[in-house]
Chain A
C-alpha cells in the first residue's frame, strides 16, 4: 500500500483508538481514585456499560426546548471527532494536516463548549443556565492561557501547526527542557484541568446542585442524547490529555506512514494518556474543589505562566 493509504489508515486508527479508549480512560481514572480511597471500584469498563445502557433508552427533550438543545450533543461530538482526525496523536502524516493548527483546535474545542452552554440555556431550567454561565466563565478565563501558551510553543518552531510542533520536539529534545516549554507545560496543564472539568475547578462526580458546572448543563439530557454527551466529555478529556502528551512528550508519534511506526504510535499514545490520566486521578484524591470565586485565581496563575513562557521563549533563547 502507498504512503497516502497508510496515512488514511492512521487517521481511522487514531479516531477509533480515541473514541473507544476515552470511556476506558474515564473508567481507569475512576478506578485509580477508588483504589486510592480504599474502595473496590466498578472496573475500567463501567463507563462503556453505562453508555450501552443509556443508548438503549429513548431521549426525552424538555417541553419548549428547541433544535439548539437537540443538536448540541452532536455538534459537540462531531467537533471533537474532527479534532481527533486532524491532530497528530499517533502519526504526523494526517491528510487533514492543514486543519491541525493549534488555534483551529482551540476554536473547535470552544465550539463544542459553546454548543453545550447554549443547550443549557435553551432548557430554561435554573440549573442549566447557572451551569452554562459558569462553564462560559471558566472557558473565557482558560482560553487566553491556551492561546498564549500555544504562542510560546510555536515561536520557536515558527509555525502553529501541531505536526510541525511535534516533529520539532522529536528533532531537538533539548528544547523540551527549556524554561519556556516547562512554563507552557504548567500553564497548559492547568488549562487542561479547567477545560476537562476536573478538580479543583469542577467535580466530575458531583450532582450537588450548587457546586456542579458541567453536570448542571447536561442535567436535562436523557437516554441516547445523554450517552452522546457523556461520550463527548470522555473524548474531550482524552483529546486534552493526548494534546498535552503529544506536545510535551512527543516521543513515539510516527513521522512516517509505515505500519510499524503506526503501531508504536498507538502504543505510545495509550501509554502516555493512561499515565497522565492516572496521575491526574491520583492528584485529585488529595484535592478539594475550590470555591468558584477562587477559580479566576487559578486561571490568572496559568495565564501568568503562559506570559512568562512567551517572554522567556523570546529572551532566554
Chain B
C-alpha cells in the first residue's frame, strides 16, 4: 500500500471515529448510542488493522481482532441486554441540552487539536497527525459521562472515553504490547462495570421501586 493511500484511509477512519463520537452526543435514543458504539468499535479495529499493514508484524492484526470481538461484539451485546432489562428507551433529561452540548463538542474538538499540537510536532508523520482525533474522543467521552443522567448513557460515555484512549494509544505508539494489553484489560474491567450496572438495575427493579411508591403514598 502506498504512503498516500495509507494516509487517506487512516484519515477517513479517524473521521469516522470522530463522527461516531459526535453523533453519540446528538442522539437521545439509547439504542442508537449502542449502534454508534458498535460502529466505533469496528472502525477502531480497522485503524488497528491498517496500522498493522504498515507495521509488518502479526501482533497488531491480533489486537485488531481482539478489539473487533470485544468492542464490536461483546460489549454492545451486553449493553443491549441492559437496555432490554431497564426498558428506558431514551435519555430524557441530559444536564446540558443537545444544541448546547453540540456546540460544546465543537469547542472540545478544537481544544483537542490545540493541546495535541506539541505532541504532533515531535514527529509529524501521517499517523501522529491523527492523534488529535483520539484526544477529542477522550474529551467527548468525558463530556458524555458528566452530562448524562441515565446509567446506560454514562456507560456509553465511559466506553467512548476508553475508545479514545485506545485510539490515541494506537496512533501514538503503534504496536507497543504493554499499552495494548492495558487497553484490553481496561475493557475487561468495563465489562465487569457494565454487568454491575445490570445487577444494580435488577436490584432497583425488584427491591426499591415499592419503597418509592410507599413514600409517595405517605406524602
Chain A positions near chain B (C-beta within 8 angstroms): 174, 177-180, 182-183, 296-297, 300-301, 303-305, 307-308, 311-312, 314-317
Residue of B19, B26, B99, B130 touching A316 (CB-CB under 8 A)? B130
Q: List 11 A-B contacts (CB under 8 A).
A: A178-B15, A182-B15, A304-B102, A307-B110, A308-B22, A311-B110, A311-B113, A314-B113, A316-B11, A316-B14, A317-B11
Q: Which residues of A contact B109 (CB under 8 A)?
A: 307-308, 311
Q: Which residues of A contact B12 (CB under 8 A)?
A: 177-179, 182
Most chain B CB neighbours (cut-off 10 Å) among A179, A182, A305: A179
B98 touches A297 (CB 8 A): yes
**CA A300 to CA B103, docked complex, whole Å:** 7
B173 at the interface (CB under 8 A from A): no
- Residues facing A in B63-120 (CB within 8 A) are 98-100, 102-103, 105-106, 109-110, 113, 120
**CA A180 to CA B12, docked complex, whole Å:** 9
**CA A303 to CA B101, docked complex, whole Å:** 12
B26 touches A312 (CB 8 A): no
Q: How far is the CB of A109 from chain B (nearest CB, A)?
A: 23
Q: Which residues of B contact A177 (CB under 8 A)?
A: 8, 12
Residue of A179, A296, A304, A314 touching B14 (CB-CB under 8 A)? A179
**CA A304 to CA B18, docked complex, whole Å:** 11
**CA A179 to CA B99, docked complex, whole Å:** 23
Known A179-B14, A307-B106, A316-B15; 6 more pairs at CB < 8 Å: A174-B8, A177-B8, A182-B15, A297-B98, A304-B103, A304-B105
Q: Which residues of B contact A314 (CB under 8 A)?
A: 113
Q: Which residues of B contact A311 (CB under 8 A)?
A: 109-110, 113
Q: How far is the CB of A240 from chain B (nearest CB, A)?
A: 23
Most chain A CB neighbours (cut-off 10 Å) among B19, B99, B110: B99
**CA A139 to CA B133, docked complex, whole Å:** 31
Q: Which residues of B contact A300 (CB under 8 A)?
A: 98-100, 102-103
Most chain A CB neighbours (cut-off 10 Å) among B8, B19, B105, B106: B106
Q: How far is the CB of A303 from chain B (nearest CB, A)?
A: 7
